[in-house]
Amino acid sequence: MPRPPAARALAAAVLCAGALPAVSACGSGPVERTAGASPSAAAATRPAAPASPSAAALTAAQAQAALLTAADLGVPWEPTDGAATWRDGILKARAEAAPADCRRLLDALYADQPLGAPTGTYAVTGFDDGDDGAQLRHQVLSPRPADVDRALAWLRTLPRTCARFTATTTRAGEQTVRVGDLALPAAGDARQGLRVTFTGPPDGADGAEGTDEADGDGSDGSGGADVTTLTLDVVAVRVGGDALTLTDGAPGTLTSDATVQAVQKGVERLKAVRRAGRAQA
Q: What is the mean pLDDT of residues 219-227?
A: 57
Contact call for residues 238 and 186 (beta carbons, < 8 A): no
CA distances from 69 to 65, 183, 262 (A): 10, 24, 10
Examine the pLDDT at 30 and tell me if it is beyond 70. Answer: no
Helix (H), strand (E) counts: the chain: 7, 11
Q: What is the pTM of this model?
A: 0.75
Examine the pLDDT at 167 and tell me if it is beyond 60. Answer: yes
Examine the pLDDT at 222 and tell me if it is beyond 60. Answer: no
Q: What is the mean pLDDT of residues 207-223?
A: 41
Examine the pLDDT at 11 and tell me if it is beyond 60. Answer: no
Pairing verdict, β 93-94 and 164-169: antiparallel
Q: For the chain, which domains are there? A: 38-45+60-204+225-280 (3.40.1000.70)
Distance CA(247)–CA(37), nearest Å, equals 20
Task: Supply the pLDDT for residue 277.
Answer: 81
Task: Supply the pLDDT for residue 164.
Answer: 98
Q: In the structure, what pLDDT confidence band is assigned to residue 215 with cuts at 50, 70 and 90?
A: very low
Task: Decide which of 213 and 64 is more confident.
Answer: 64
All residues at 6 or more sequence positions from 176 whose CB lies less than 8 Å from its CB, including other chains: 164, 165, 166, 198, 199, 200, 211, 214, 216, 226
Main-chain dihedrals φ then ψ at residue 127, nearest 5 degrees: -140, 150
